[in-house]
Amino acid sequence: MGAELPITASVSGPEVNGRTQPAPVEPPDAGTGEYEIVPGDDAPPEDGSGETIRYIVEVEGDLPFDADEFGSDVHTILNDERGWGHEDNMRFARVDSEPVAFRVSLSSPDLTDDQCYPLLTRGKVSCWNGTRAVINALRWGAGADTYDGDILSYREYLINHEVGHALGHGHANCPEDGALAPVMVQQSKSLEGCEPNPWPSR
C-alpha cells in the first residue's frame, strides 16, 4: 500500500511524540441519542489490493466534533499502511448507504453505555456491539492515561482496536514486559507491562 497518511485533525495542543496534538475536548454526557451518517464517500487507496470492505461513519448529534473531520480521520487510520490492510489483504471504502460490513459510531458516554449493553462501559470506554464500533466521545476527545497525552496515537489505537473486533479479532494479552502491545490488548485500561502501540502491523 502507499505511504503513511497523516491524520487531518484540528490541532492546537502540545507536541507529544513528534506530533502537535488536538486540544483535549470533554464532550457532554449525552447528545441527541440519535446518529447522523457522515455523508459522502471515501474511496479505498488506488494502489492497494485485496477485498474492499464498505463501512459507514456516523456521529451522534450535539457532540463537539466536526463530523466530516471524524470521518476523514477514521478513513485515514483504516487505510494506513500499518493498519489491518498492511499485507494488501483488504482495504476500506467509506460509504453513506447500505450494504456495509460495519459502522464506526462516535457516541456520547450515555449513548455508548446504551449501545454497548450488556457490557458495562460506565461511560468510560468504547466497544464493539456486533454491528458497530462504538467510539466513546470522551475517549476520542481526551485520550487515555496509558497514552500519556498522545491523543492522536490513542485515536489510531481506538479505531484499529474496535474495528479489529469487526474483522473477527478477539482480545489479546501483552506477550512480555517492554514489548509493543498487540493492538487487541485493552490498552485503554492497562498496557499489562507493554509499550503503547496503535497499529496491527507492529
pLDDT, tens digit, for every residue of 121-156? Answer: 999 999 999 999 999 999 999 999 999 999 999 999
Would you call 103 helix, strand, or coil by DSSP? strand
Round to whole Å and give the CA distance between 31 and 113: 13
Q: Are 198 and 150 in contact (CB under 8 A)?
A: no
The residue written with cell numbers 473531520 in the block is 69
Q: Are 109 and 125 in contact (CB under 8 A)?
A: no
With the C-alpha atoms ordered 110, 139, 166, 78, is the resulting torsion angle positive or negative?
positive
As a whole number of Å, the end-to-end CA separation of the chain is 16
Assess whether pLDDT exceeds 60 at residue 10: no
Round to whole Å and give the CA distance between 22 and 64: 13
Q: Looking at per-residue confidence, does 10 or 21 come out higher? A: 21
Among the residue ranges 9-18, 61-70, 137-146, the one predicted with the least confidence is 9-18
What local confidence, expressed as pLDDT, does residue 6 receive?
41
Q: Is the pTM of this model over 0.95?
A: no
Q: Are 5 and 76 in contact (CB under 8 A)?
A: yes
